[in-house]
Amino acid sequence: MRRKMAAGNWKMNGTRANLVEIDALIRDHGAAKSEVLICPPATLIHAMSGRADARIAVGAQDCHMSAAGAHTGDVSAEMLADVGASHVITGHSERRADHGESDADVAAKTAAVWAAGLVAIVCIGETLAQRKSGDTLNVIGAQLAGSIPDGATGANTVIAYEPVWAIGTGEVATVGQIAEVHDFIRAELAARFGAKAADTLRLLYGGSVKPANAAEIFATSNVDGALVGGASLKAADFGGIIAALDAA
């Protein structure tokens, strides 16, 4: 059985004043059945992990592919582990778009996350143009193959399907669209890693998930949870998503 996961990605939002949201999340959802993860900006990881104890996991949104070295401004997975991160998002579409990260870069970062003993949340997703031209499954297949190194297991990797056109737009993929891609990802993983290993890997959906649409998304084939941006910033909103996941 795959444990369900509600992961929040605060993106470049939040200062120490926002740590009260973690207190509220712990108060209301510290005993959730689902695994709950918040990925704040790197500046908040240490304080948040101290505050969250073991009831809520704290992760990072990116890392460098090297463990240390002359890379001004970058942060390594080891450093993130040192301040209490247990997970690192790799290959988010905003990193791919804003920083030109390729599938090979994402694979190298994912390997760095594993080397630090952390769990990678590897993001893949098609653009609107790719969907309109009928390329969605080709794009997803290529990103999946190129972004995940050999050695992925349910213990070190979570995969997030996030259609780029649904991120921060209020536009949610239909249940049919989500099921088609998640079923495809599961089949591709089974072909590469074997059905048994593929069965342990959790597949999150991401893109405008809100309390109001969460239950429908969580009832969809091969959806093991969500990666949530905007609606993870407030404990009340994210809590609604966690409750829907627990009930699914």
Catalytic center residues: 92, 162
The nearest distance, CB 103 to ligand PGA, in angstroms, is 18
Nearest CB to ligand PGA, comparing residues 79 and 226 = 226
Among 227, 235, 242, 245, binds ligand PGA (CB under 6 A): 227
Place of tokens 């995969």: 159
Please give the residues from 165 up to 224 whose contact with ligand PGA meets the rule CB under 6 A: 167-168, 206-209
Q: Three-state DSSP class for 228? A: strand
Asked whether 122 and 95 are in contact (CB, 8 A), the reply is no
Asked whether 21 and 1 are in contact (CB, 8 A), the reply is no
Please give the residues from 5 up to 44 whose contact with ligand PGA meets the rule CB under 6 A: 9
Nearest CB to ligand PGA, comparing residues 59 and 230 = 230
Supply the Cα-derived Rg of the chain in whole angstroms: 17
By CB under 6 A, tell whether 230 contacts ligand PGA: yes
By CB under 6 A, tell whether 62 contacts ligand PGA: no
> How many chain residues are in contact with ligand PGA, going by CB under 6 A?
13
The nearest distance, CB 186 to ligand PGA, in angstroms, is 20
Among 228, 235, 242, 243, binds ligand PGA (CB under 6 A): 228
Using DSSP bridges, classify how beta strands 5-9 and 225-228 pair: parallel, antiparallel or unpaired. Answer: parallel
**Applying CB under 6 A, which part among 42-50, 98-106, 181-189, 228-236 lies near ligand PGA?**
228-236
By CB under 6 A, tell whether 61 contacts ligand PGA: no
Return the closest-CA partner of residue 97 out of 59, 141, 120, 127: 127
Secondary structure E strands in the chain: 5-9, 35-39, 57-60, 87-90, 119-124, 157-161, 202-206, 225-228
Q: Vertex 158, ends 153 and 164: CA angle to 5°? A: 140
| Spatial distance between the Cα atoms of 248 and 38, rounded to a whole number of angstroms | 20
Q: Which residues bind ligand PGA (CB under 6 A)?
A: 9, 162, 167-168, 206-209, 227-231
